[in-house]
Structure 1
Amino acid sequence: MKTARIKEWTYEEFMTLPEGGPYRFEIIDGELFMTPSPTPRHQKICGNLFLSIGTFLRSNPLGEVFAAPCDVVFSRTPLQVADPDLVFVSKAHAFIVTEKNIQGVPDLLVEVLSPSTAANDRRVKLSLYERSGVPEYWIVDPQTETVEVFRLSGGRYADGMEFRKEDTLDSPLLPGLTIPLSEVFPA
């Protein structure tokens, strides 16, 4: 759900928005977006991905993974704040993790589609993440049980690679990680 643009939001104003509750807040290109809390299936898929990546990182300390809600502040002027479902920050970029949020460009962002967020995740956030220089972006579709992977090349995302439920997902950002997607999508 997008609100009417009345004025540009500041970081300080954004930080006064209520935490928790029935909505998650994001500001992209000066517009405030509110999304309802996700469904149990959405959360189960997020949890399965978080568990796969988190377990891998315990044995391979390449960085940290964070689950929503965890704001990523790409810039303060203009204010660009997203709340991806999962965020991976490598050790090389650990300095962007602050006590309140992530201030800068993470290495990998994951969005699990919901009916209320699908168009935004596929267009608005894809554009924001590409412009901001996020090296890798996964769009997880619970309905089709697919993961579309976008990798930055020459400052642009190449066409997305699609992985299906019977495939295994990996990432050059996490060498050695393999995620059987049959374990991600609940029956």
Structure 2
Amino acid sequence: MEKEEEKNIVKEPYSEYGRYTYADYLNWEIDHMVELIKGEVFRQAAAAPRRIHQELVLKIGSQLGNLLKGKTCKVYVAPFDVRLPVESKKHKDINTVVQPDICVVCDPEKLDELGCVGAPDLIMEILSPSNNKKELQNKYEVYEESGVKEYWIIHPYEKTLLVYTLVEKKYIPSRLFTLGDLVPSKCIKGFVLDLDELFEGLE
């Protein structure tokens, strides 16, 4: 498993500061998607996402887009840079830049021409064979630390969904949702995901 995880990490020397920053990220010329998590670079698979992954992104993104039309909250799908600053919003001080499959941002002040700076209200990740345990663990930690209110993890091949809800700065996991479940969001009013509809026809 360790060898598989290492395949997704870009093997390049650290910057002069020991870890990469968003300032470094902006200067890279890369022909594939990468994410920066606590200064460490994670490279996504060179091939395009699988069909089922893209169908789920489209289904959920369309549902959220229709629900939020004309409202303050906005939905974005990858590639879309989300910078998660700890103390400073300066490029050289930010060491985490992720591209969630789907995110919802309800504070317009967090949006700029480069994407989002600060925690989205809701983040959804759809698992694929290229995801690895180290990446998922690190994302869980930075989403919790930065204040993402809800973190949804969808497993398309097992047809399951797990929701982490932020309570007093700590994530509380839901039960494992599956076919037959209607899953409401606590932070996006009116959003309910019907898992029968979501996974219908995805074989």
TM-score after normalising by structure 1: 0.89
SS in 1 for 2:64: helix
* Residues 113 and 174 (structure 1), Cα distance of their counterparts in 2 relative to 1, 3 Å cut: same
Verify: 1:164 aligned to 2:178, yes or no.
yes
- Native 8 Å contact 1:150 1:157 kept in 2: yes
| Paired position in structure 2 for 1:81 | 97
Write the deviation string for residues 90-147 of structure 1: whole angstroms up to 9, x where unpaired. Answer: 1xx1111111111111101110000111424531211111111111100010011111
| Paired position in structure 2 for 1:45 | 56
Give runs of ≥4 in structure 1 deviating > 3 Å. Answer: none
Instruction: Give me the whole-angstrom Cα distance separating, in 1, the residues matched to 2:135 and 2:54.
Output: 16
Deviation at 1:24, TM superposition (A): 1.2
Instruction: Give me the whole-angstrom Cα distance separating, in 2, the residues matched to 1:69 and 1:178.
Output: 24
Verify: 1:71 aligned to 2:81, yes or no.
yes
Aligned sequence identity (%): 29
Unaligned runs of 5+ in 2: 1-7, 86-90
Structure-to-structure mapping, 1:4-153, within 5 angstroms: 4=11, 6-7=13-14, 8-18=19-29, 21=31, 23-36=32-45, 37-58=48-69, 61-75=71-85, 76=91, 77-90=93-106, 93-120=107-134, 122-153=136-167
* Residues 184 and 118 (structure 1), Cα distance of their counterparts in 2 relative to 1, 3 Å cut: farther
User: What is the one-letter code of the residue matched to 2:42?
Assistant: F
Deviation at 1:160, TM superposition (A): 3.4
Unaligned runs of 5+ in 1: none
- Native 8 Å contact 1:122 1:139 kept in 2: no
Verify: 1:155 aligned to 2:169, yes or no.
yes
Write the deviation string for residues 53-94 of structure 1: whole angstroms up to 9, x where unpaired. Answer: 1111126x241000000010102525111110001001xx11
- Native 8 Å contact 1:5 1:31 kept in 2: no
User: What is the one-letter code of the residue matched to 2:9?
Assistant: K
TM-score after normalising by structure 2: 0.83
- Native 8 Å contact 1:150 1:161 kept in 2: no
SS in 2 for 1:27: strand
Instruction: Give me the whole-angstrom Cα distance separating, in 1, the residues matched to 2:66 and 2:83.
Output: 26
* Residues 121 and 65 (structure 1), Cα distance of their counterparts in 2 relative to 1, 3 Å cut: farther
- Native 8 Å contact 2:84 2:94 kept in 1: no
| Paired position in structure 2 for 1:2 | 9
Q: Report the count of equivalent residues.
A: 182
| Larger Cα-atom Rg | 2
Deviation at 1:178, TM superposition (A): 1.9
Q: How much is the aligned-residue C-alpha RMSD, in angstroms? A: 1.8
User: What is the one-letter code of the residue matched to 1:27?
Assistant: L
Instruction: Give me the whole-angstrom Cα distance separating, in 2, the residues matched to 1:111 and 1:129.
Output: 12
Instruction: Give me the whole-angstrom Cα distance separating, in 2, the residues matched to 1:163 and 1:149.
Output: 8
Structure with the higher fraction of residues in strand conformation:
1
User: What is the one-letter code of the residue matched to 1:83?
Assistant: Q
